[in-house]
Amino acid sequence: MALLLVLNPLPFHSPVAPPAQIPGWATDTTPVRQPKMKPEYQVALFKFECNACHGIIPPPANTQVRTVTQHREVVLKHGINTWCLNCHHPQNRNVLVNDRGEEIPWDQPQRLCAKCHGPVYRDWLHGAHGRTNGYWDTSRGEQSRRKCIECHDPHQPPFPPMRPAPGPETLRMGPQGPGEHGEVHNPLRLTGYGEGVAAGYLEPEEGN
113 binds ligand HEC (CB under 6 A): yes
190 binds ligand HEC (CB under 6 A): no
Cβ atoms of residues 59 and 91 within 8 Å: yes
Residue nearest to ligand HEC (CB): 79
Report the residue from 22, 57, 173, 199 that binds ligand HEC according to the rule CB under 6 A: 57
Q: Which residue type sits at 61?
A: A
Angle at 195 (CA atoms; ends 189, 201), nearest 5 degrees: 75
116 binds ligand HEC (CB under 6 A): yes
Query: Considering only 10-18, 146-154, 169-177, 192-200, which stretch makes contact with ligand HEC by CB under 6 A?
Result: 146-154
Report the residue from 91, 98, 107, 146 that binds ligand HEC according to the rule CB under 6 A: 146
Residue 177 CA to its chain's centroid (Å): 24
Comparison of 158 and 194: residue with beta carbon closer to ligand HEC: 158
CA-wise closest residue to 92 among 102, 82, 107, 81: 102
How far apart (Å, rounded) are the C-alpha atoms in residues 101 and 196?
A: 68
52 binds ligand HEC (CB under 6 A): yes
Comparison of 57 and 199: residue with beta carbon closer to ligand HEC: 57
How far apart (Å, rounded) are the C-alpha atoms in residues 33 and 139?
A: 28
95 binds ligand HEC (CB under 6 A): no
Q: How many other CB atoms sit within 10 Å of the CB of residue 113?
A: 20
Comparison of 71 and 204: residue with beta carbon closer to ligand HEC: 71
Nearest-approach distance from CB 25 to ligand HEC, in angstroms: 14
Cβ atoms of residues 147 and 110 within 8 Å: yes
Comparison of 17 and 145: residue with beta carbon closer to ligand HEC: 145
**In this structure, what DSSP letter does residue 107 have?**
T
Residue 49 phi/psi, 5-degree rounding, is -70, 150
Residue 10 phi/psi, 5-degree rounding, is -120, 75
111 binds ligand HEC (CB under 6 A): no
Contact positions toward ligand HEC, by CB under 6 A? Answer: 35-36, 39, 41, 43, 48, 50, 52-54, 57, 60, 68-71, 74, 76, 78-81, 84-88, 93, 96, 109-110, 112-113, 115-117, 120-121, 124, 129-131, 146, 148-152, 154-155, 157-159
